[in-house]
Homo-oligomer: A and B are copies of this chain.
Amino acid sequence: MEITGIIETCLYSEKLLALKQFYERLPGVSLIAEEKGRHLFFRCGFQMLLIFDPNHTSVEQTEVNGKRIPLHGAKGAIHIAFSVQNNTIDQWKSLMKRNSIPIESEVTWPNGSVSIYFRDPAGNSLEIAEQGLWN
């Protein structure tokens, strides 16, 4: 009996339309559900990326089968890192350039893995990291 992984990772923003357009362009990220003005649910590998408008989810009580979903919501720039295949960072940099997404930083870690950093339209700090980063 143990936790096997993190199945839901969340971001928060009022700018859901801009975020929908932004994340849909990332290969490997697929929109699977949406409630306009409240949330976007993306599948991403074996995990889910959930984006909520905190002005709704921090105050509006929702229920599933008569049971309450606890309130949540944050403001500020959250960081998440996506994993990608090794030796594809140059391709990702080209993709960012084609999509006019500025690369804020590129870091080579002590173990040789490379990460690039960029922002989503809400200002969240996104990282694309080669798979060996945390090995």
**Residue ranges of A at the interface with B (Cβ–Cβ < 8 Å):** 1-10, 12, 26-29, 43-50, 52, 54, 58, 64-65, 67-85, 88, 91-92, 95, 104-110, 117, 119, 124-125, 127-129, 131, 133-134
Contact = CB atoms under 8 A, between A and B. Distances in A.
27 contacts: A2-B27, A2-B84, A3-B26, A3-B45, A3-B83, A4-B82, A4-B85, A6-B49, A6-B80, A6-B83, A7-B82, A8-B80, A9-B80, A47-B47, A48-B81, A54-B76, A65-B108, A67-B106, A69-B105, A70-B79, A70-B105, A70-B117, A71-B125, A72-B78, A72-B79, A74-B77, A75-B75
Nearest to A83: B7
Give the interface SS of chain A, mostly helix, strand, loop or mixed.
strand
A10 B71 contact: no
Contacts of A49: 6
Task: Give the number of copies in the complex.
Answer: 2
B127 A8 contact: yes
Contact of A109 (B64, B79, B95, B128): B64
B76 A58 contact: yes
A74 B71 contact: no
Contacts of A26: 3
